Amino acid sequence: MEPGARLCLALCLAGLLPAPGERGGSRGADPLPRSSPGPWGSIAPRTGNPGAGGSGWALGGSRGFRRAPRPPQLPEGPAAGSRGSLGRAPAAARPLRAPLRVSPGCRAAPGRFAYKLLHDLFANYSSALRPVEDTDRALNVTLKVTLAQIIDMDERNQVLTSYLWVRQTWLDAHLTWDKDEYGGIDIIRIPSSYVWRPDIILYNNADEHFGGSMETNVVLRSDGHITWDSPAITKSSCKVDVSYFPFDGQQCSLTFGSWTYNGNQIDLRNQLDSGDLTDFVENVEWEVLGMPATRNVITYGCCSEPYPDVTYTLLLRRRASFYIFNLLLPCIMVSFLAPLGFYLPADSGEKVSLGVTVLLALTVFQLLVAESMPPSESVPLIGKYYIATMTMITASTALTIFIMNVHHCGPGARPVPPWARRLILHHLARLCCVYEVGESCKSPRRAPGGRAAPGDARAAGESPGERRAGTEVRGCPWDHCLCHHDALLSNVGYIAGCFRRHRANQRRTGEWKKVAKVMDRFFMWVFFLMVFLMSVLVLGNAA
């Protein structure tokens, strides 16, 4: 055999040249034209399927082997022969395809297995019956609640609105399969209405529509375990204790349980010892301290069977900054204005008006608090503070009216009693630092009882000129004085008596005014001390 023929035979056996009868691969295209004639001719690049035995290499002249381009493959089937001139090659010339092999880690089950699995599972399945092999045994249902958000806390209606994620897990004995028979399918997700679901509801639901959970899909495993995650916006009744508002804390319970299945049919248990707070969105008004979970078994009066339930207790504490700056501090500042009404001068005519204005302002704050509080017997702490402050302001206004009456007593008033002069004008005046104009602690003071000190000319109600004139009149000889006329003496005596009575009335009125002033200063400090003590008590109870 010639050397060229031997080389061609070797290349054909190695798969580098097309087999005899094969014409350009499976596309049926004309073979490429040969090059200039030679002992072997020029080897054209192959256009067939490389996986069908050809390697796609060609030999061209004296340049050696070169990589031939691979054209795109066309699908093989009955429709491939109708695409114009590109028909299918004859069966004798069509190369054989090697079977497609995929590694086990990358293998995916065809969709027909999922359809077949769904058809086989629910061919004779009923979602109305409890899925247990033995009807005398209880079905274990595990509950897990995740608190996502606190939407609203209505203290007046005692309703807590929250956003929850509820997970229920149970075993359905009628929904099991061998995953090897269905292409390795282990988990499927189907609508929750296809399977049996426990009737777990919120016992203390306060929603008027009584809506349940959202109709989400369930996750079904090959061993029959079903996991149902459903979000829900719940309105639950919560007993609100506002005794320490706005420094209060609340405990709201969320009780979940089956409505028709008793403990012999469904055994409800909590998955965790507390609610899940990892995805909780912080609330601006309430701070969540915890959410412990407890399982209870209760026998109700209607039935003799036990009914288990899982109760999540939501521990809340109010953030009091908003109420401190908007309700408490304005009340404290307004309360400190009430004692200043005693410091206001009596002649200004605004003492009573100030007390009434402060009382009306506190009444407005009291109404704001009462609108948001439930109409219960327990009065909130800030409400007690408002009531005590309003009572104090009412008493201060009444005392102001009484002191104003003392201040404006007329000339016909009785003299100041000795006990009042001693207690008020002497001791309280020195204690409250109340003095007359030009008088201080070191100036001479009148002795108690109204007697003037020695050398005090004003104690007798006469001026030094009047006393000198009286001495001269008394020492004047009867024969050499013009004052011996009886009419003139009686007129002078009448005028002097009127003047003395007028000075006595002025002195008596001044004493009563000083009594009123001392009482004003005394009650001002007393009420200042009361407001301070009440504020300290409120903050102390809050702490």
Return the pLDDT at 84: 38
The stretch 431-438 carries a mean pLDDT of 63
**Are the C-beta atoms of residues 351 and 344 closer than 8 Å to each other?**
yes
Question: Residue 441: pLDDT above 80?
Answer: no
Question: Residue 229: pLDDT above 90?
Answer: yes
Question: Residue 194: pLDDT above 90?
Answer: yes
The stretch 489-517 carries a mean pLDDT of 77
Question: Residue 148: pLDDT above 70?
Answer: yes
Q: Based on DSSP, count helices (H) and strands (E) in the chain, helices before strands.
A: 11, 13
Supply 413's token pair: 């008033």
pLDDT band at residue 541 under the 50/70/90 scheme: confident
pLDDT band at residue 281 under the 50/70/90 scheme: very high
Q: Say which residue the tokens 């003047």 belong to.
A: 499
To 10 degrees, what angle do helices 381-407 and 486-542 make?
170
Residue 299's SS3 state is coil
Burial 439-477 (b: 16+ CB within 10 A, else e): eeeeeeebeeeeeeeeeeeeeebbeeeeeeeeeeeeeee
pLDDT tens digits, residue range 13-69?
545 445 444 444 433 444 434 444 443 343 344 444 433 343 333 333 433 434 444
**Are the C-beta atoms of residues 58 and 45 closer than 8 Å to each other?**
yes
**Average pLDDT taken over every residue of the chain:** 74
Q: Which amino acid is at 431?
A: L
Supply 506's token pair: 């002025």
Report the range of poorest mean pLDDT among 67-71, 152-156, 344-348. 67-71
pLDDT tens digits, residue range 73-128?
444 443 333 333 333 444 444 444 444 444 444 445 567 888 999 999 999 899 99
pLDDT band at residue 4 under the 50/70/90 scheme: low
Return the pLDDT at 64: 40
Closest residue by Cα to residue 257 from 204, 314, 305: 204
The stretch 139-150 carries a mean pLDDT of 95
pLDDT band at residue 201 under the 50/70/90 scheme: very high
Report the range of poorest mean pLDDT among 189-203, 330-344, 481-495. 481-495
pLDDT tens digits, residue range 358-412?
889 888 888 888 887 777 777 888 888 888 888 888 888 888 888 887 777 766 6
Residue 264 burial class via C-beta count within 10 angstroms: exposed 0-12, middle 13-18, buried 19 and up: exposed
pLDDT tens digits, residue range 94-106?
444 444 444 444 4
Instruction: State the Cα–Cα distance between residues 495 and 499, nearest whole angstrom.
Output: 6
